[in-house]
Structure 1
Amino acid sequence: MAPFTLLYFILSVVLYVVALPLLAYFSFKQKYKESIPARFFLFKNPKFKNSDGVWFHVCSLGEARALKPVLDLLSSCDIKITTVTQTGQSEAKKYDADVRYLPYEMFLPFWIKKQAFLIVLEAEFWFLLFSVARAKGARVILLNARISQKSAKKYLQFAWFYKKLLSHVEIIYAQSEADKNRFLALGAKNIEVIGNIKLAAKISKTKEYKKPQGESIVAGSTHEGEEESVLKSFVEYKKQSNAKLFIVPRHPERFEAVFELMRRYADKNSLTLSRFSHDKEFDTDMVLVDVMGELNNIYAISDIAILGGAFRDDVGGHNPLEPAFFGCKIITGKHFFHQKELFKYVHHVQYVEPSEIHKALMASRELPPSMVEEKINLQPVINRILKN
């Protein structure tokens, strides 16, 4: 083990020991009850069964879902996938793949088996993941690689570190020219811009629901604080429209809190309210969609999509391709830094402050549906893997 790698490993052990009480505490939280024991204590998280496969590492739900068009073209390969979050793990298990949680870094020298490729999506930069995988014989590739404008300065402050990390990478397939330039500034080599692989995803609905009468508005992938802004705006908009509102929170552990918030607004403004999990109907003024995997089905019967994750400054936005595919008129916030590349491909989007959602709803009456025109070619990536 090289001196720097050894020092990094020792630091990871020290941090692990210091963080043990917090890790034990968060292990009992619903959001982490599966991922923390697996990642930090290797509970039900053994090594991959076989060597010499194609190993993809993703963080969460969005990245796991984005893998589908790539995996469809690699059906003959032995696929492995690691994730960080529980939602990502659930999505990854839908594929014909050997799926695990990525262990904390200090475990990786003992956990990793030799693979033909390690393909890491987006911005999952773990030094020991890269260095150990390469030392054991894997060719390391960054796919859909990005560095947001907001994060670029922080990366540059530690450019010496990221130069070491990226020295283990064979090729970087970047989302955009801006991302390529940021990687070059960190000392990376061999970078190709192919666009965002999420453009290659096949977007579809899994169920057919009857569109309710009147105008349908969906607030999709919302985070704490965003639902209240949506509800305030909807109450005002409802005075001038026969509209219905469907709220689909991003995280299932928030379903109860969001329902209570919706109940307060319903009671105060004499609106009817229901939970989708109870009757699968859309016949009330407001519906909490408290079932995972339904968002595309809801987009398909909606006229307007208020896309969450961008009305706060700490989330970075969510994928606009799905509501655009179903012809929704998209309203979102101004903090979409993690999805900036995707929004570049989507036309007719309103970017507003939380206090301006009502104004945007009114303006939507005169606007065309959002749409996506661009595509991506995954063949260079597939050719590199299959010609191994």
Structure 2
Amino acid sequence: MEKTFFFLYSLLSFLLYLVALPFLLVFSFKTKYKESLPARFFLWHNKPLKPHGIWFHSCSFGEAKAIKPLVDALPQESLRMSSTTHTGFKVIGGYTKESRYLPFEPLLFGWLNPQKALVVMEAEFWYLLFVLAQRRGANTLLVNARMSDRSFPKYEKIGWLYRQIFKHIDEVYAQTPKDKERLESLGAKNVIVTGNIKLAYLPTISKEIKKPSSLVVCGASTHEGEEALILDAFATFKKEHPGAVLLLVPRHPERFDKVAKMTEDFAEEHHCTTQRYSENEVLSSDIVLVDTLGELVNMYAISDIVILGGAFEPIGGHNAAEAAQFGCKIISGKHYFNQKDIFDAIEGIAIVEASNLSKRLLQHGVLKSAEIKNKSDITAIVESLKSVL
């Protein structure tokens, strides 16, 4: 059965690759994908990783940042990295030159070198990645694994697929006991609860920014639809606090120009000033569009109130601990389903309906400063990785 599944899955992935080739060629010329698609689907400037190392695979910017405590615990020469997104790739490139875009599955047959361990973050369930890495000698680990209330029913519907995948994952490190139970129901073995490793390391400020003398509101990691919501709430807030400053930090850099136009139109309508942080790092305007990657934690450090994006729309939320470490007052939407364990580990987050954001922002005086109650323990993961070196 296992051999048959392996053959059929490999054949199907190869056929899908052939069908998708014309579309991939077209999208490869788009600015957003001009690096990642040629590397992932055509192996353009994407040679195999050196063999016999510890290979970390993470997808997003946040996941790539979250593996830093594991990276710091290992010899630098042992590190191998891969990612599937441009923002994730920029982060892992700072860990080691042995960083690559992960090729699409059928291309792994000729690309993947033997490694001592493969460490995959959260929910990157690539069947051939685990199978081929394990068959070529790697101890395979899934870390920070989670199964949210929203996603678990979807996984259950195709549980037959995940049971095949988990046959090739040697160790699983789950975020919570509930995640452990759900993962085991899908076939996971050797599951240990470590907590969320995003709480094991929180980014520190890279530079000190002079805080404006008035209240600073940070609209952090925002998505489509959330900037307009925050701007409207800020307009009401500014009537009571004329000196207030809004720092607006979109999640994705490809949206910077669109949000810049939005803030400029808003500023003209409401007779206030705006600036792009990339053009002027002195916070001298009513609204500052932070259009530079890696600055969010610096903005948290000077913020009084954080309106955390990714949860006013059904995105799943973002890591509130990064702001909570500075004692900010945090307001979030209700759609934080991907960050539930982090939110549970923090006291003081105000959860509001999008329609009530303006009202809650005006009530900032009664909000509590956020505080992290507990962190995670990555000792077991580090010991496992060191044992194969």
- Normalised by the length of structure 2, the TM-score is 0.97
* Partner Cα distance (1:234, 1:21) in 2: 46
Offset of 1:356 from its aligned partner? 1.4
In the other structure, the counterpart of 2:21 is 20
Asked if 2 retains the 8 angstrom alpha-carbon contact of 1:69 and 1:202, the reply is no
The answer (yes or no) to whether the contact 1:27–1:37 under 8 Å persists in 2 is yes
Which residue matches 1:279?
A: 280
8 A contact 2:61–2:88 mirrored in 1: yes
Aligned length: 386
Q: Which residue of 2 aligns with 1:3?
A: 4
Maintained 8 Å contact 1:309/1:336 = yes
Contact 1:203-1:325 within 8 A present in 2 as well: no
Alpha-carbon distance, 1:33 to partner: 1.3
Corresponding position of 1:243: 244
Aligned runs of 1:373-384 on 2, under 5 Å?
373-384=373-384
Measured after TM superposition, the shift of residue 168 of structure 1 is 0.6
Rounded to whole Å, the distance in 1 between the matches of 2:21 and 2:96 is: 34
Alpha-carbon displacement from aligned partner over 1:164-217 (angstroms, at most 9, x marks no partner): 110111111100111111111112221111101111114310111111021000
- Distance in 2 separating the partners of 1:385 and 1:77: 14
Match of 2:176 in 1: 176
Mapping 1:139-150, distance limit 5 Å:
139-150=139-150
Aligned match of 2:312: 311
Residue 165 of structure 2 aligns with an amino acid whose one-letter code is L
Structure 1 residue 235 displacement after superposition? 0.5
SS in 2 for 1:277: coil
Matched AA of 1:150: R
1:79 positional shift: 0.9
Counterpart amino acid of residue 127 in structure 1? Y
Cα drift, residue 40 of structure 1: 0.7
Partner of 2:253: 252
Structure 2 CA distance for aligned equivalents of residues 184 and 158 of structure 1:
15
Read off the aligned partner of 1:20 and give its amino acid letter.
L
Alpha-carbon distance between aligned partners in 1 of 2:363 and 2:75, rounded to the nearest angstrom: 46
Q: What is the one-letter code of the residue matched to 1:137? A: G
Query: In the aligned structure 2, how far is the partner of 1:183 from the partner of 1:211?
Result: 45
Looking at structure 1, the residues matched to 231 and 281 of structure 2 have their Cα atoms a distance apart, in angstroms, of 21
The more displaced of 19-28 and 190-199 is 19-28
CA RMSD across the alignment: 1.3
Letter in 1 for 2:45: K
Residue deviations 1:332-353, cap 9 Å, x none? 1111111111111111011112
CA distance in 1, matches of 2:370, 2:70: 26
Q: Which moves more between the two structures, 13-22 or 215-224?
A: 13-22
1:126-137 aligned within 5 A:
126-137=126-137
Contact kept in structure 2, 1:145 and 1:175, CA below 8 Å: yes
Counterpart for residue 385 of structure 1: 385
C-alpha deviation, 1:363, in angstroms: 2.0
SS in 2 for 1:173: strand
Kindly indicate whether the alpha-carbon contact (under 8 Å) linking 2:333 and 2:351 is maintained by their aligned counterparts in 1: yes
Q: For 1:132 and 1:256, locate their aligned partners in 2 and report how far apart those are by CA, in whole Å.
A: 41
Q: Distance in 1 between matches of 2:79 and 2:97?
A: 5
Identity of aligned residues (%): 45
Distance 1:318 1:116 in 2: 32
Q: Aligned to 2:32, what secondary structure does the other structure show?
A: coil
The whole-number CA distance in structure 1 between the counterparts of 2:27 and 2:345 is 39
1:36-62 per-residue CA deviation (whole Å, 9 max, x = no partner) reads 11101111111112x211111111111
What secondary structure does 1:262 align onto? helix
Task: State the distance in 2 between where 1:355 and 1:131 align.
Answer: 47
Q: Say which SS state the counterpart of residue 279 (structure 1) adopts.
A: coil
C-alpha deviation, 1:30, in angstroms: 2.2
SS at match of 2:279: helix
Matched AA of 1:205: I
2:37 aligned with 1:45: no
Deviation at 1:285, TM superposition (A): 0.8
